[in-house]
């Protein structure tokens, strides 16, 4: 009996120790655990593919029973949406091209300059505690760990595991996902009355905030904030020293409506798991940024250590949770991409510096 | 050559590995899409619990470790985390079952269901322990309940399968 108890204790100790070693190795991104996963994938993938084919009728039957009404309703809704979006898409493509030209003209990086790989989603996570999908492209396409993945609607996640012809994508709703983002907000409305003096002070009081802020607007003679064409005061035409009139420059001068440009504030997007919207933290409570409006777009911030290049659409602000003191608000984000019905996705072959493994 | 393959296949753990491969394939394909109450059904944990019910706590712990490790290979959770949790579930099922004076079919069903439910809560706790926030919520209780109820339905056939897979070599012949 004592010998049996000793054996049992030994087995338990051995299993616990093995688990601890494996967890430690995996959390430290050891090549051993990656190799083990790869080796297992070689054995398991053919069995999984065969099972997928065999169980397809059962899955279809289940989906037919459970989701038929939803699918029919969604199909009707999508047909309407496609009709509406077709016109808008053409206008947007033109706008995007202009923006890319402008960015490249100024030597700024654009998404168009980054190569990408298109893949199809072939499976989702079998677990209740992680939000991942599997795609049918892998290392052979140039995909590496950390690369951002998005579809036509916006960002959906990042690559976390890569095999030769498959890869696992962690969705942005996964609690382990975090990304630097920008919230684009419209500026606070200011009421400023131009006076005789060049400098006018005006006071703006937010309807919900208890603090009042003072903004100063400088008026330059001949320029009106927000005007697209400069206006010149009616004066006598200037003349040269010999008395001949100066030929006026008739080309219109465009004054950017600086006061109305959208303001951007950075924060960190964090996933919160199944059925919960991701949130944005660390938004500074700045009066200049104004009160964040529901529906404000959220886009990737970019930067040397960011998981994604700048200006990839993430979603829109769906709820704002204000916090007291200097703590900025927490924003709930409605993800632009429908993560429950993913099909074709695009992987930007952009590996963030934080995810690079030294060869 | 064939004799050697047959000899290897007669090993109880090799047979369990092959059964677990089929269960894992079902888990990642069929059960991946069948989500009653938005919960993914977990038959891998049922297999671990059933191994414990069929062959006792020690075998249950080893079998659970092996099944959990296989599950870890296809998940993004740290390798070894599921193995540790499933080993506890296998051990627990076998250990509690050894205290049942005259085991009946329904006592085994209840034990299989309870072990599965506890396993789900332990899994959430383990994931939270390695630093992932937002996992340990009230949703875990729903998951544990749904998984326990589903696994109760399949507890007896799975236990029978484990009993067959882990039969000693001579008995198979």
B157: domain range? 2-171
Helices (H), chain A: 2-27, 31-105
Least confident of A212-216, B30-34, B114-118: A212-216
Q: For residue A108, what pLDDT is reported?
A: 65
Sequence-distant (6+) residues with CB within 8 A of A42 are: none
Q: Which of A23, A125, A273 sits opposite B80 (nearest CB)?
A: A23
Binned average pLDDT, 10 residues per bin, chain A of 359 residues:
68 89 88 88 90 90 85 85 75 71 68 80 81 89 89 87 89 88 68 42 38 42 45 53 58 49 74 84 66 82 75 86 75 86 86 63
- Report the C-alpha gap between A83 and A52 in whole angstroms: 35
- Report the C-alpha gap between B77 and B128 in whole angstroms: 11
When divided into structural domains, chain B yields a total of 1
CATH of the domain at B158: 1.10.1760
| Chain B residues whose beta carbon lies within 8 Å of the beta carbon of residue A47 | 21-22, 25
- Write out the two tokens for A14: 């051995």
ipTM of the complex: 0.84
Q: Which residue has the tokens 């010998």?
A: A3
- Report the C-alpha gap between A297 and A316 in whole angstroms: 4
Q: Which residue has the tokens 């789900």?
A: B120
Q: Looking at residues B119-126, what average pLDDT do you find?
A: 93
| Chain B residues whose beta carbon lies within 8 Å of the beta carbon of residue A52 | 25, 29
Cβ(A291)–Cβ(A206) below 8 Å: yes
Q: For residue B96, what pLDDT is reported?
A: 92
- Write out the two tokens for B117: 């439910």
- Write out the two tokens for A194: 């131009």
Q: Which residue has the tokens 């992932």?
A: B132
pLDDT over 70 at B138, yes or no: yes
CB contacts under 8 A, A 70-99 vs B, are: none
Q: For residue A130, what pLDDT is reported?
A: 81
Q: For residue A87, what pLDDT is reported?
A: 67
What top-level class would CATH report for the domain A119-186+262-359?
Answer: mainly beta
Query: What are the structural domain ranges in chain A?
Result: 10-85, 119-186+262-359, 190-220
> Are B61 and A15 in contact (CB < 8 Å)?
yes
| Chain B residues whose beta carbon lies within 8 Å of the beta carbon of residue A11 | 58, 61-62
Q: How far apart are the first and last CA of chain A?
A: 53
| Residue in A126, A135, A158, A168 to test binding to B, most B beta-carbons within 10 Å | A126
> Are B62 and A15 in contact (CB < 8 Å)?
yes
Question: In whole angstroms, how far apart are CA B9 and each of A147, B44, B89, B161?
Answer: 41, 21, 26, 15
- Report the C-alpha gap between B17 and A341 in whole angstroms: 33
């Amino acid at each position: 009996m004592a010998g049996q108890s000793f054996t049992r204790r030994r087995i338990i100790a051995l299993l616990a120790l093995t688990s601890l070693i494996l967890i430690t190795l995996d959390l430290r991104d050891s090549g051993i655990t990656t190799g083990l996963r790869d080796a297992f994938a070689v054995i398991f993938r053919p069995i999984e593919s065969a099972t997928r084919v065999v169980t397809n009728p059962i899955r279809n039957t289940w989906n037919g029973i459970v989701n038929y009404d939803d699918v029919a309703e969604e199909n009707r809704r999508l047909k309407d949406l496609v009709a509406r979006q077709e016109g808008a898409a053409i206008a947007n493509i033109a706008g995007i091209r202009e923006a890319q030209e402008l960015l490249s003209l100024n030597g700024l990086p654009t998404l168009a300059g980054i190569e990408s790989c298109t893949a199809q989603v072939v499976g989702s996570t079998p677990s209740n505690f992680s939000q991942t999908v599997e795609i049918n492209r892998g290392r052979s396409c140039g995909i590496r760990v950390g690369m951002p993945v998005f579809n036509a609607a916006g960002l959906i996640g990042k690559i976390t595991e890569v095999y030769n012809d498959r890869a696992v994508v962690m969705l942005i709703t996964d609690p382990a996902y975090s990304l630097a983002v920008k919230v684009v907000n419209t500026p606070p409305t200011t009421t400023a009355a131009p006076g005789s003096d060049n400098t006018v002070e005006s006071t703006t009081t937010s309807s919900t905030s208890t603090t009042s802020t003072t903004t100063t607007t400088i008026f330059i003679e001949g320029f009106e904030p927000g005007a697209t064409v400069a206006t010149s005061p009616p004066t006598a035409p200037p003349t040269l020293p010999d008395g001949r009139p100066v030929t006026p420059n008739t080309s219109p001068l465009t004054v950017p409506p600086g006061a109305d440009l959208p303001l951007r504030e950075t924060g960190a997007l964090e996933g919160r798991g199944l059925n919960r919207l991701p949130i944005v933290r660390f938004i500074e409570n700045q009066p200049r940024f104004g009160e964040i409006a529901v529906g404000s777009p959220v886009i990737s911030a970019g930067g040397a250590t960011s998981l994604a290049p700048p200006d990839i659409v993430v979603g829109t602000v769906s709820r704002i949770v204000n916090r007291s003191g200097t703590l900025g608000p927490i924003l709930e984000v409605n993800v632009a991409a429908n993560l429950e019905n993913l099909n074709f996705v695009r992987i930007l072959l952009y590996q963030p510096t934080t995810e690079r493994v030294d060869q | 050559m064939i004799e050697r393959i047959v000899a290897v296949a007669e090993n109880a753990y090799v047979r369990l590995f092959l059964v677990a491969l089929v269960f894992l394939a079902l888990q990642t394909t069929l059960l991946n899409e069948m989500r009653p109450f938005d919960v993914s059904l977990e038959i891998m944990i049922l297999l671990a619990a059933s191994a414990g019910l069929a062959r006792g706590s020690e075998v249950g712990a080893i079998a659970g470790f092996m099944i959990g490790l296989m599950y870890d290979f296809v998940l993004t959770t740290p390798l070894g985390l599921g193995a540790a949790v499933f080993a506890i579930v296998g051990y627990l099922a076998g250990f509690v079952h050894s205290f049942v004076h005259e085991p009946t079919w329904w006592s085994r069903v209840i034990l299989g269901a309870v072990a599965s439910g506890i396993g789900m809560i332990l899994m959430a706790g383990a994931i939270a322990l390695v630093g992932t926030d937002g996992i340990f919520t009230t949703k875990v209780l729903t998951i544990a309940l749904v998984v326990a109820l589903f696994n109760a339905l399949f507890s007896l056939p799975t236990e029978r399968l484990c009993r067959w897979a882990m039969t000693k070599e001579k008995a198979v012949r």
